[in-house]
Amino acid sequence: MSKPRTRKPAFQSGFVSLLGRPNSGKSTLLNALTGMKLAIVADKPQTTRTTIQGVWNTPNAQVAFVDTPGIHQADSLFNRRMMQSIGEALQERDLLLFLIDSTRPASALDEQAVALIREAGAPAFAVFNKIDALARKDALLALIDQYRQWHPFDEIYPISALTGEGVEELRAAILKRMPAGPAWFPPDHVTDQPERFLASEIIREKILAITRQEVPHSVAVLIDEWKEEGKLTRISATIHVERTGQKIIVLGARGARLKEVGTQARVELESILGTRIFLTLFVKVSPNWRENEQFLKELDWRAMIGAEPVAPTAPETGDEPDGPVIL
Ligand SMILES: Nc1nc2c(ncn2[C@@H]2O[C@H](COP(=O)(O)OP(=O)(O)OP(=O)(O)O)[C@@H](O)[C@H]2O)c(=O)[nH]1
Ligand SMILES: [Mg+2]
């Protein structure tokens, strides 16, 4: 008698975009789903400025997650670019995850954000995040009802991207929705962003963590130099701000704040890149960079690929760069 043949499950693969209003926890979830620090996180809105891919590999499946900037009203050239990248992340996806900060009441802006999901026409889950911080769980039910009225989401998941609560259930549900298909990326491909972009982001994350008000939106970090010398990587970067007052804030008394930023960034980069890092930071006032086409081009890592380190040609600069602060 012949043995009954067991059929190997078909390989599944797909693209899943993470969308939602600023600060809802999209990047935290990307990192949780992939188990890696791929996107920076801050308690400020509009932290993520470009789409960032993170690939999750299992023996039988490959899911490419795409983190996006928070859906917001664009008021500068830079913000319009961010909204364009969200538009791209809505196209041809197998699944959309719409993240909601459950600790905040729903507003008209949230309804407008949901409208983007409706227009995309792809299957979508509503992911109610930050349930660890909910004072009253029954408030969540009312919030879920509200979102259900706005859009017939395919599935609803309450989670905490921070503590991991509900993330495994979400992951299993995502997998069920992935179509049969080949692995689109080699198994060691974890992200599309180059190391030098990640480095500039880690530096920006440390600045966001220590500055308030208008500074986070005004900060851009460009890598000027990246030299690998055996086990040592020399990185030099310029932190661009829009005004002299912001430069003073970033520098701190006798450069102490900048030094702290550099130390924290270096320690994290050494652990991510697995090399010793020699980091040099400069601060420069670059008025109006958010409206400067050329500057935004340099900021876009997709334009950096294959490019040799370039000295940032900042727009009419207010003054000379400060530094270097060597760490
Ligand atoms: N309590 C709690 N905080 C969370 C959770 N997920 C994210 N946060 C916090 O919420 C803040 C925003 O998180 P991000 O992951 O940067 O949010 P985002 O949606 O990517 O934000 P943008 O990139 O600005 O659109 C950070 O302070 C996170 O630590 C969660 O599940 N619980
Ligand atoms: Mg983000």
Q: How far is the CA of 243 from the centre of ligand 2 (A)?
A: 25
pLDDT tens-digit series, residues 155-180: 999 999 999 999 999 999 999 999 99
Q: How far is the CA of 196 from the centre of ligand 1 (A)?
A: 23
Task: Tell me: pLDDT of 321 over 90.
Answer: no
pLDDT tens-digit series, residues 100-142: 999 999 999 999 999 999 999 899 999 999 999 998 888 899 9
23 in ligand 1 pocket by Cβ < 6 Å?
yes
Q: pTM value?
A: 0.91
The whole-angstrom separation of Cα 164 and Cα 24 is 15
Q: Which residues surround ligand 2, an ion (CB under 5 A)?
A: 26-27, 47-48
> Would you state the pLDDT for residue 5?
66
Q: Which residue's CA is minimally distant from atom 27 of ligand 1?
A: 43
The whole-angstrom separation of Cα 154 and Cα 181 is 22
Give the pLDDT band (50/70/90) at residue 4.
low
C-alpha 315: how far from its chain's center? 26
The whole-angstrom separation of Cα 290 and Cα 178 is 38
Determine the 3-state secondary structure of 90 from DSSP.
coil
What structural domains and CATH numbers belong to the chain? 12-177 (3.40.50.300), 195-326 (3.30.300.20)
Question: b/e string for 313-327 if b means 16 or more Cβ within 10 A?
Answer: ebbeebeebbbebeb
Residue 165 alpha carbon, nearest atom of ligand 1: 31
> Would you state the pLDDT for residue 310?
37
The whole-angstrom separation of Cα 279 and Cα 324 is 10
Q: How far is the CA of 97 from the centre of ligand 2 (A)?
A: 14
Assess contact for 269 and 280: CB atoms under 8 A. no
Q: How far is the CA of 314 from the centre of ligand 1 (A)?
A: 31
Assess contact for 244 and 319: CB atoms under 8 A. yes
> Would you state the pLDDT for residue 326?
47
Average pLDDT over residues 84-96: 93
Q: Which residue's CA is minimally distant from atom 7 of ligand 1?
A: 25
CA nearest neighbour of 322 among 249, 265, 264: 249
Q: Which residue's CA is minimally distant from atom 2 of ligand 1?
A: 130
Least confident of 12-21, 144-153, 248-257, 295-304: 295-304
> Would you state the pLDDT for residue 6?
66
Average pLDDT over residues 278-299: 95
173 in ligand 1 pocket by Cβ < 6 Å?
no
Q: Which residue's CA is minimally distant from atom 21 of ligand 1?
A: 23
CB neighbour class for 105 (10 Å; exposed up to 12, middle 13-18, buried from 19): exposed
Task: Tell me: pLDDT of 295 over 90.
Answer: yes
How large is the angle between the packed helices 256-273 and 195-210, nearest 10 degrees?
140
Assess contact for 193 and 52: CB atoms under 8 A. yes
Task: Tell me: pLDDT of 9 over 80.
Answer: no
Residues of the chain with pLDDT > 90, as a percent, come to: 82
Quote the mean pLDDT of the chain. Answer: 90
Task: Tell me: pLDDT of 318 over 50.
Answer: no
Residue 24 alpha carbon, nearest atom of ligand 1: 19
133 in ligand 1 pocket by Cβ < 6 Å?
yes
305 in ligand 1 pocket by Cβ < 6 Å?
no
103 in ligand 1 pocket by Cβ < 6 Å?
no
> Would you state the pLDDT for residue 66?
97
Q: How far is the CA of 68 from the centre of ligand 1 (A)?
A: 13
Q: How far is the CA of 263 from the centre of ligand 1 (A)?
A: 23
45 in ligand 1 pocket by Cβ < 6 Å?
yes
pLDDT tens-digit series, residues 72-86: 988 899 999 999 999
SS3 of 193-255: the string is CCHHHHHHHHHHHHHHHHCCCCHHHHCEEEEEEEEEECCEEEEEEEEEECCHHHHHHHHCHHH
Q: Which residue's CA is minimally distant from atom 6 of ligand 1?
A: 25
Least confident of 68-82, 176-190, 259-273, 299-313: 299-313
43 in ligand 1 pocket by Cβ < 6 Å?
yes
